[in-house]
Amino acid sequence: MFVAIASFPEVPIDRRDEFHAWFAWSNTQLRGTDGLEGRRLLRTTDGAYVALVEHHSAETFAAMHATEQATRVQLRLAEILTASPSAAKYEVVAELPASGSCCGGRGHGHPQKTAAVESAGLQVAGRCCHDS
């Protein structure tokens, strides 16, 4: 997995609602992009904004930025902010999978099961259902 953390320049107080709306709109524009696994807008305790973007790989992240949708997203952001965000990029080397779901919770949305209890209609913690 590949993660980018984009730090945004200061968002003027009178533009915050517009900025939040832009981020929600940009998520709809980028949804379905090959390799995009997640995108979140975060605010630090001192009010600065960062975006956490999770991708399958550095290659899918780079490919996303070459799309028409990404260009549209950046052009609209330029109408709100006076400067562009900067990004730090990381390869994930270890992680704690999301609890309560198979395969670390990555889009499958089904709990961990074993074949014996699945046929009985029960759900239990255990190995990933894709391992059976």
pLDDT tens figures, 112-127 = 444 443 444 444 444 4
What SS3 state is found at 10? coil
Round to the nearest angstrom and report the end-to-end CA distance of the chain: 24
Residue-level length of the chain = 132
Question: What residues does each domain of the chain span?
Answer: 2-91, 102-131
Tokens of 7: 């730090």
Check whether 19 has a pLDDT greater than 60.
Answer: yes
CATH for the 2-91 domain, from 3.40.1360.10, 3.20.20.70, 3.50.50.60, 3.30.70.100 = 3.30.70.100
The pLDDT of residue 98 is 75
pLDDT tens figures, 31-72 = 999 999 999 999 999 999 999 999 999 999 999 999 999 999
